[in-house]
Chain A
Amino acid sequence: MIEAENISKTYSRGESGTVEALQGISFQIGPGEFVAVRGASGSGKSTLLNIVGCLDQPSSGTYRLDGEDVANYGDKQLSRIRNAKIGFIFQSFNLLPRTTALENVEIPMVYRDGHVDRRRALSALERVGLAARAHHFAMQLSGGEQQRVAIARALINSPALILADEPTGNLDVNAGREVMRLLEDLHNEGRTIVLVTHDDAIAASASREIQLRDGKIISDRQPSAKSSLPLVEGAR
C-alpha cells in the first residue's frame, strides 16, 4: 500500500539555514495495517503524515502509494489521489463552521465528479451515529460530534487509506473512545489506517507502532498478531 524509500524533507528557514524534518527514512505499510506513528513534537511525524497523505512531497527519496510513484505528480494528480484514496481526520476536526454536518460530509463528493449523492452522505452520518444532527451547523456540534462528522467526511469516497492526525487530541475521554472505536471498525473492514499520536493508550489500538525522533525512525515494532487489547485509559 505504502512504500517509502529514503525519504527526506528539508524546509528552508530563511537565512538561518534549513531544517531537516525527515532524514532519509524508509518503511512499508501493507494494506489493512493499523499503524501508529509516535514521537515528540518536532520529531517529524506530521511531516511524514503530510507526505503519506499527498499534501506534501518529499525533498528526496521515492514514495509509492498503491504502486503509483507520486513523487513527480502534479497538483491535479495529487488532488485526485487525496480525493479518491485518502481520508483525512484532523486533531482540530477542520469542518466548515457555518455549514451543516451533511454539507461538510458532501464536500469530497463535489471534487470527485461533481455528483453529490445526498443519501450516501446521510448514511455516512448514520454510520457515525449523527443522522439526527445532519442539518445542524458544524459549530453547533460538540467536539466529539464534530470529529465523527469529520470521520464521515473521510469515509464518503470510500478511501483505502485513512490518515488521522491526533484525532482524539481535542476530545474528552468518552468522545475519544468513541472516535477510536470507529477507527477500529474501519480497520476491521480492511482499511489501512495511519494514526499520529503521542498517547500510549491510543497507540495501543494499533497493530504496529513506528517511533520517530529528530526525523528518523528509532523503532518499528510489528507484533505478529494484531493487538486486540481493549482501550483502557492509562494503559501501559
Chain B
Amino acid sequence: MKAPKLVSQAMRSMRRYRLRTILMALGIVVGIASLTVLSSIGEATKRETMQRFKNMIGTFDTIIVRPGGGRSRGMPTLVNVPPTLRFEDADAIARDLPEIRAVAEMQTAFDVDIKYRDHAASPAVIGTSPNWLELRSDEVQDGVFFTQDQNAALARVAVIGTDVRTVLFPDQDPLGKTLRIADLPFQVIGLLKSRGAGPAGGSLDNLVLIPVNTASRRLFNRDFLTMVIAQVKDPERSSEATEKVMELLRERHHIRPPALDDFTITNPAATMAQVTRASSTLTKILTGVAAMALLIGGVVIMSLMSIAVSERWKEIGVRRSVGATRGDIVSQFMLEAILVALMGGIAGAVIGWGGMQFATRMQKLPQILVWRPFAAAILLSMIVGVVFGIYPAWKASRLDPIQALRS
C-alpha cells in the first residue's frame, strides 16, 4: 500500500473517531506544552543569569583581588575593607608576573555626595586606572575616557554612568560640565554606555569614574585599594595565574601558613561555571517534570489505542479479508498513533509558545525564542507515537481474521 493513501486513510479514521482522537492528542498536548514552556523558561533563566553576571564582570579573562580574608558581602568600599591591599601590590602583580597582561587599581566609595547645580546624587564613586574600559569591557558612549597622563597629573576629570546623567543632567549634555564630588570640582569628559542590570537585579550604571591617583590623593586621602583587577594573558590558564597572584601577595604581605590570607581572590570564570551549573540543574529538573507529563500522554495514547483496536476488530477482519497484510494493519494503527501524537505535539508546541510568551512577560525574562525545545517537541511527540503505538498496532495485526470477522 502506498504512503499517501495510507496517510489519507489514517486521517479519515481519525475523523471518524473524533472524540477519541482528541482525547489521545490531549495527553500529548499537555506533555509537549509543559515541556516546551518549562524547558524554555529554564533556558531563558539560564541565559538571563549568565547575561547579568557578564554585565557585572565585564570580561572573563580577569582575576579580582580584594583586601580582607573573609569574603565580605557586597561591593568593597574604602570604609569596609582593611587597608592591606596597596598600590605597590598592584604594581608588583603587573611587573613581576608574566601571566598577567594588565592590572587596574580601584578605590571605591559610596555615600559620597555629588552635585550639579541643584541636582544631587550619591552613586558609587570609583577611582580607577585608565585601562578600565578594556578590563571591564566597558564602552564610552559620548566623549572620552581619562588617560594615563591625566591619572599621573591628578586631573579632576570624571566619566559618568547613564543613571548619574539622568539624575544630574536630566535635559542637557553633561560633557564639559563641572560637577562636584564632595565639594571638589570635576569636569565631565565622558559618558559610559549602559550595562543594564547585574545578577542581583540592581543597576550597573549608577557610578562615576575618576582617575585612581586623583581619588587617592585629592578626594579620599587613602593609599590602599578596594580592588585590583588583573587581566590574564591566557584565559585557559586563569587558575594557574590565580595561584601565582596568591603566592606573590602572600610573600609581599609576609603571610606564612597557618596565618590566613589578608586578601581574597575570585576567578570569574570559575564562578561563572558554578552559576551555569546551578541553572542547568534547574533546567534539567523542569525538563524532567515535563517529560513525565509527556510519558503520561504516551500511556494515554497506548491505552486508548488498545481500546480502539478491540472496538475495531471487525474493521481489522474486513481489511484482512480483502487483502490487508499484517504489515498493512500495523502501518495503519502506527500511523494513526503517530499522526495523533504529531497533531498533539504541534498543538502543544503552539500552546507552549503562547505560555512561554506569557511566562517571560510575567517573569520579565528576555524574549528569547528557544527553538530547540519546539523542534524537539515535534520530534518527541512522533517518537511517543511510535513507542506507544507499536504495541496496540502489533496486537491488531496478530488478530485472527476469522475471529475478528465473527466478533
Chain B residues lying within 8 Å of A53, measured Cβ to Cβ, are: 321
Cβ of A56 and Cβ of B322 under 8 Å apart?
A: no
Binds A, one of B1-9, B37-45, B56-64, B251-259: B1-9
How many residues on the A side are at the interface (Cβ–Cβ under 8 A)? 30
B315 contacts chain A at the CB level, 8 A cutoff: yes
Binds B, one of A81-89, A126-134, A198-206: A81-89
Instruction: Output the residue of B314, B315, B325 with the most chain A CB within 10 A.
Output: B325
Instruction: From known contacts A56-B402, A114-B5, infer whether A96 and B318 are also in contact, taking CB-CB under 8 Å.
Output: yes
Instruction: Output the residue of A79, A83, A99, A114 with the most chain B CB within 10 A.
Output: A79
Q: When A and B form their complex, what is the total count of cross-chain residue pairs whose Cβ atoms lie within 8 Å?
A: 69
Cβ of B324 and Cβ of A111 under 8 Å apart?
A: yes
Cβ of A94 and Cβ of B317 under 8 Å apart?
A: yes
Chain A's nearest CB lies how many Å from the CB of B317?
7
Instruction: From known contacts A50-B402, A56-B402, A94-B405, infer whether A111 and B1 are also in contact, taking CB-CB under 8 Å.
Output: yes
Cβ of A82 and Cβ of B16 under 8 Å apart?
A: no
Chain B's nearest CB lies how many Å from the CB of A114?
3
Instruction: From known contacts A98-B16, A110-B9, A116-B5, infer whether A84 and B314 are also in contact, taking CB-CB under 8 Å.
Output: no
Kindly supply a per-residue 1/0 record for chain B positions 1-24, scoring 1 wherever the CB is within 8 Å of any chain A CB and 0 otherwise.
111111001001000100000000
Cβ of A113 and Cβ of B2 under 8 Å apart?
A: yes
Per the bound structure, the CA–CA distance linking A50 and B2 in Å amounts to: 28
Per the bound structure, the CA–CA distance linking A203 and B3 in Å amounts to: 43
Cβ of A79 and Cβ of B5 under 8 Å apart?
A: no
B74 contacts chain A at the CB level, 8 A cutoff: no
Chain A residues lying within 8 Å of B244, measured Cβ to Cβ, are: none
Cβ of B321 and Cβ of A111 under 8 Å apart?
A: no
Cβ of B322 and Cβ of A111 under 8 Å apart?
A: yes
Could you say which of B5, B321, B405 contacts A110, with CB atoms under 8 Å apart? B5
B327 contacts chain A at the CB level, 8 A cutoff: yes
Per the bound structure, the CA–CA distance linking A114 and B2 in Å amounts to: 5
Per the bound structure, the CA–CA distance linking A116 and B5 in Å amounts to: 8
Interface size class of B (residues with CB under 8 A): 20 to 34
Per the bound structure, the CA–CA distance linking A114 and B328 in Å amounts to: 11
Instruction: From known contacts A50-B402, A55-B401, A90-B405, infer whether A107 and B2 are also in contact, taking CB-CB under 8 Å.
Output: no
Kindly supply a per-residue 1/0 record for chain B positions 311-332, scoring 1 wherever the CB is within 8 Å of any chain A CB and 0 otherwise.
0001101111111111110000
A13 contacts chain B at the CB level, 8 A cutoff: no
Chain A residues lying within 8 Å of B405, measured Cβ to Cβ, are: 90, 94
Instruction: Give chain A interface residues in 184-218, CB to chain B under 8 Å.
Output: none
Chain B residues lying within 8 Å of A115, measured Cβ to Cβ, are: 2, 5
Per the bound structure, the CA–CA distance linking A107 and B12 in Å amounts to: 13
Could you say which of B16, B321, B326, B328 contacts A55, with CB atoms under 8 Å apart? B321
* Beta-carbon nearest neighbor of B3 in chain A: A114
Cβ of A76 and Cβ of B327 under 8 Å apart?
A: yes
Chain A residues lying within 8 Å of B320, measured Cβ to Cβ, are: 55, 79, 82
Cβ of A79 and Cβ of B402 under 8 Å apart?
A: no
Chain A residues lying within 8 Å of B324, measured Cβ to Cβ, are: 79, 111
* Beta-carbon nearest neighbor of A100 in chain B: B12
* Beta-carbon nearest neighbor of B16 in chain A: A98
Kindly supply a per-residue 1/0 record for chain B positions 288-330, scoring 1 wherever the CB is within 8 Å of any chain A CB and 0 otherwise.
0000000000000000000000000011011111111111100
Instruction: From known contacts A98-B16, A111-B328, A116-B5, infer whether A79 and B317 are also in contact, taking CB-CB under 8 Å.
Output: no
A153 contacts chain B at the CB level, 8 A cutoff: yes
Cβ of A80 and Cβ of B321 under 8 Å apart?
A: no
Chain B residues lying within 8 Å of A84, measured Cβ to Cβ, are: 323
Chain A residues lying within 8 Å of B325, measured Cβ to Cβ, are: 75-76, 79, 111
A108 contacts chain B at the CB level, 8 A cutoff: yes
Cβ of B322 and Cβ of A107 under 8 Å apart?
A: yes
Could you say which of A76, A79, A94, A112 contacts B318, with CB atoms under 8 Å apart? A94
Chain A residues lying within 8 Å of B9, measured Cβ to Cβ, are: 110
Chain A residues lying within 8 Å of B315, measured Cβ to Cβ, are: 96
Chain B residues lying within 8 Å of A98, measured Cβ to Cβ, are: 16
Chain A residues lying within 8 Å of B318, measured Cβ to Cβ, are: 94-96, 107
Chain B residues lying within 8 Å of A103, measured Cβ to Cβ, are: 12
Instruction: From known contacts A50-B402, A110-B1, infer whether A94 and B319 are also in contact, taking CB-CB under 8 Å.
Output: no
Per the bound structure, the CA–CA distance linking A55 and B3 in Å amounts to: 25
Instruction: Give chain A interface residues in 17-65, CB to chain B under 8 Å.
Output: 50, 53, 55-56
Instruction: Give chain B interface residues in 319-350, CB to chain A under 8 Å.
Output: 319-328
Per the bound structure, the CA–CA distance linking A110 and B2 in Å amounts to: 8
Cβ of B326 and Cβ of A75 under 8 Å apart?
A: yes
Per the bound structure, the CA–CA distance linking A5 and B5 in Å amounts to: 40
Chain A's nearest CB lies how many Å from the CB of B227?
75
Cβ of A108 and Cβ of B322 under 8 Å apart?
A: yes
* Beta-carbon nearest neighbor of A104 in chain B: B318
Per the bound structure, the CA–CA distance linking A75 and B325 in Å amounts to: 6
Interface residues of A (CB under 8 A from B): 50, 53, 55-56, 75-76, 79-80, 82-84, 88, 90, 94-96, 98-99, 103, 107-108, 110-116, 153, 157
What are 19 inter-chain pairs, A to B, with CB distance below 8 A?
A: A56-B402, A75-B326, A76-B327, A82-B320, A82-B323, A84-B323, A88-B321, A90-B405, A94-B321, A95-B318, A98-B16, A103-B12, A107-B318, A107-B322, A110-B5, A111-B319, A111-B323, A114-B1, A114-B3
The 9 closest A-B pairs by CB, nearest first: A83-B323, A114-B2, A111-B323, A108-B322, A79-B325, A114-B5, A98-B16, A82-B323, A114-B1
Please give 16 more A-B residue pairs, beta carbons under 8 A apart, in addition to A99-B16, A111-B322, A157-B323: A53-B321, A55-B321, A75-B326, A79-B323, A79-B324, A94-B318, A98-B16, A107-B318, A108-B322, A110-B5, A110-B9, A114-B2, A114-B3, A115-B5, A116-B5, A153-B322
